[in-house]
Chains A and B, each alone.
Chain A
Amino acid sequence: MVTTKNIWESLEKVSDPEIPVLSIVDLGIVRNVEIDKELCTVTITPTYSGCPAMHTIEQEILTTLSPIIKTEVKSTLSPAWTTDWMSENGKKKLREYGIAPPENEVDKSVLFAKPTVVPCPKCNSQDTKMISQFGSTACKAHYQCNQCLEPFDYFKCLR
């Protein structure tokens, strides 16, 4: 008998194609798992409207779960995804991978606000600078460490 707990455990093995170190559960994009008799419904939500990884993630979920149970994947937009849903474990994994996890950011309506202090994931220095608000994917900004000079991605706060 497959339980929702089994399904959640299996989903821990499905990684985000753009940040392979994070599972879709760590990222907080799996919103719900339901089992109704023989059918499992997994509800996911995109990080950004144009997230190109959604189709791949859907396929990965189906591939992972289909040997266990008949599965359908649904997508929902509300409530809208926020980085607050990223698990502590996910943040830890991100840092170890070299991507700075989301920090509490100042209000975006403040222009030229002092950029959020993002500690360097390599040397842990607080002395870093923002290079660009937009990085290699929609969810990341580009930073550089003033101490060890390492350029790094910052998973920016979305609220």
Chain B
Amino acid sequence: MNTKNQLYNYILEIADDSLILGQRLSEWCGHGPILEEDIALTNIALDFIGQANNLYEYAATLSENKITPDQLAFLRVDNDFKNALLVEQPNRDFAYTLARQFYFDAFRKLFFEKLIDSKDEQLSAIAEKSLKETKYHLKHSSEWIIRLGDGTEESHNRIQTAIDFLWKYTNELFEDNQAYTEILDLELGISVSALKSTWLEYVHSILTEATLTIPNSPFSQTGGRKGIHTEHLGYLLAEMQYMQRAFPNSTW
């Protein structure tokens, strides 16, 4: 793969994380446990979809085939998606949704903070823009982890279950992909493995404050970056891509 090709795939990976999580969060629209949270989750969803749009637009300019951002979002099949397994996990309940969000926001903040230094101007600009929103997201999810963990017995148990269950999907966020060596060498992208210790530190501090037990299972599930997904992604895509599949090239 040449550099341009690597960069294209690298951007898709970041974009896919944003799009899939944005789609998941948008499923809460009209179903939030309270009105304020319904609005919060869908506002955050919109930020993620906006980030994905900026990234797909940029990726499209690097593609060798004439491809549009919409085609990248709506016409690829599950194996083409490079998102981490964590973001495709179903919402289940509010606790699972917030646990997933907390793990991811904590990662994303560190990720964008570093990506700002990318030697690629557009990636740096997208990181700078997205970071501002991500700070709001992380504050929102961190506060909920503490509120639920340090809340009632019921809320404590449910958030603990979610935190434990999703733990196995977190390590994948910090696996450096061998396919992007050139991107890292040229300082266009960043090494995610270098972010892990800071992430752990932050996650530990919040879980401790939330009176939750820190998961320590070494088992980790991986594959999303290579296009090998859990069964949940297919259902998500079936819904998200329905319009373009049923009515090809339809526009608003």
Cβ of B175 under 8 Å from chain A: no
Cβ A133 vs Cβ B128 within 8 A: no
Cβ of B53 under 8 Å from chain A: yes
Cβ A136 vs Cβ B39 within 8 A: yes
Restricting to A103-138, which residues have a CB under 8 Å from any CB of B? 108-109, 111-112, 131-138
Cβ of A86 under 8 Å from chain B: no
The smallest beta-carbon distance between B14 and chain A, in angstroms, is 12
Interface of B (DSSP majority class): helix
Cβ of A50 under 8 Å from chain B: yes
Q: Which residues of B contact A51 (CB under 8 A)?
A: 50
Cβ of A67 under 8 Å from chain B: no
Cβ of B239 under 8 Å from chain A: no
The smallest beta-carbon distance between A141 and chain B, in angstroms, is 10
Q: Among the listed A46, A49, A80, A132, which residue makes an inter-chain contact with B36, where contact means beta carbons less than 8 Å apart?
A: A132
- Interface size class on chain A is 20 to 34
Q: Among the listed B37, B48, B51, B143, which residue makes an inter-chain contact with A112, where contact means beta carbons less than 8 Å apart?
A: B143
Given contacts A109-B135, A111-B142, whether A134 and B43 have CB atoms under 8 Å apart is yes
Cβ A49 vs Cβ B39 within 8 A: no
A residues at B contact (CB < 8 Å): 46, 48-52, 76-82, 108-109, 111-112, 131-138, 142, 158-159
B residues at A contact (CB < 8 Å): 36-37, 39-40, 43-44, 46-51, 53-54, 121-122, 124-126, 128-130, 132-133, 135-136, 138-140, 142-143, 146
